[in-house]
Amino acid sequence: MPLEATMNSLGFAKSPADTRVVVAMSGGVDSSVVAAKLAEEGYDVVGVTLQLYDHGAALAKKGACCAGRDIHDARRVAEDMGFPHYVLDYENTFREAVMDEFADSYLGGATPVPCIRCNERVKFKDLLQTAKELDADCMATGHYIQRKMGAQGAELHSAADAAKDQSYFLFSTTQDQLDYLRFPLGHHKTKDETRALAAKYGLSVADKPDSQDICFVPNGDYAAVIEKLRPGAAAPGEIVDITGNVLGQHHGVIHYTVGQRRGLGIGGLADPLYVVRLDVDKKQVIVGPKDMLATRRVPLREINWIGGGKLTDLAERQVAVRVRSTRPPTEAILRPINDTEAEVELLVAEQGVSPGQACVFYDTDSTRVLGGGWIWRGQ
């Protein structure tokens, strides 16, 4: 019998019962469905939930992953489906690897994306290592992204449901990690398919709302979290125009991001003004007209390349890039500088490109994710 004919749904040439899979369970509907589905298929499932920050505070926080209620929900799914479930205390790791950088990035005038760092430094590093120590054949998550086998091995592809695609947040997944990871929901056409499965399995989380906020940022109040992590961070200063004229006062640079228009408190002007730059050293918020936000050249560092071969194999290449999670990919030219740095030239200027955000590369002829890097200075 050909080897391909004996492969199970996770890509192993053995029965599901002989295939151990650790499922990263956040307590939400997506990861719960992954765990339940694999358990129903007969896999040796082990559920693991990470406690990432203060459990007591988390109990009162709704709509975010890995909070106290979510840990309870994950445990209940495991009990109902009959597989073991463990909660690991990753508070210190999470604070050092994710929260501290989040605060320092804002203090440096950048706009960080902590969910990427969490996947990179906690879930796909420490948790993945734990899965290997549990003798798991692979680790599965509820992310909406596809893993496909190509001519040179596992490839990362956008999710079938563009509205739920999470490829922007997973660009830093390395080839070794991709070889070990599985994403059973990536092929689903809509989120309704996932909820239908949750109802089919009788999961208590079937109607649970999707998480919207960053898990440790209640109600989207970034500044309050930063002030708690870095007391005194919200030093007041001036709002100035591009020629240095003082237009108003602010209560801390951490309250502003590049591209922001609302909440500046400088009304009465003929034309609207936007935040075009943050000068942390001078404690200034610099504002200007919308056209000043347009960016064509985007410098990147800490690049993770999973597009086959080396990043520097070509002097330049045509790609599609996404400079914010909420924006569709746009045509660009990628010009490598070395294995970890490059410049992207956008064929059509984008507005509000900010240091601290990610720039993710896509193949122009397919859904393949080629990698990405971090935007590290303004224009």
Q: Identify the CATH assignment for 17-142+184-219 out of 3.40.50.620, 3.30.70.2080, 3.40.190.10, 3.20.20.105.
A: 3.40.50.620
Is 138 designated active site?
Answer: no
Among residues 194, 48, 61, 72, the alpha carbon closest in space to that of 124 is found at 48
Is it the case that residue 210 has pLDDT exceeding 50? Answer: yes
Res 58: pLDDT: 42
pLDDT of 19: 98
Domain ranges of the chain: 17-142+184-219, 247-288, 294-375
> Is 54 a residue whose pLDDT tops 70?
no
* Active-site pick, 65, 138, 215, 359: 215
Mean pLDDT within 21-34: 95
What pLDDT shows up at residue 268?
A: 63
The reply to whether 115 belongs to the active site is no
What pTM value is reported for the model? 0.89
pLDDT band at 378 (very low <50, low <70, confident <90, very high): very low
Which range in 124-138, 188-202, 215-229 is most confidently predicted, on average pLDDT? Answer: 124-138
User: Residue 327: its pLDDT value, please?
Assistant: 87
Specify the higher pLDDT residue, 223 or 5: 223
Q: How confident is the model at residue 55 (pLDDT cuts 50, 70, 90)?
A: very low
Residue 218, pLDDT > 80, answer no
- Comparing 27-31, 82-86, 109-113, 144-148, the range with the smallest average pLDDT is 109-113
The pLDDT tens digits of the residues spanning 327-348 come to 889 999 999 999 999 999 999 9
Question: What's the pLDDT score for residue 128?
Answer: 95
pLDDT of residue 318: 97
In this prediction, residue 219 has a pLDDT band, given cuts at 50, 70 and 90, of confident
Residue 3 has pLDDT above 60, yes or no: no
Spot the catalytic one: 115, 118, 138, 359.
118
**How large is the average pLDDT for residues 3-20?**
88
Q: Domain 294-375 maps to which CATH number in 3.40.50.970, 3.20.20.70, 2.40.30.10, 3.90.550.10?
A: 2.40.30.10
pLDDT-based confidence at 59, cuts 50/70/90?
very low
Closest Cα to residue 195, out of 186, 24, 204?
A: 204
> What's the whole-number mean pLDDT along residues 64-68?
56
pLDDT at 126 over 80: yes
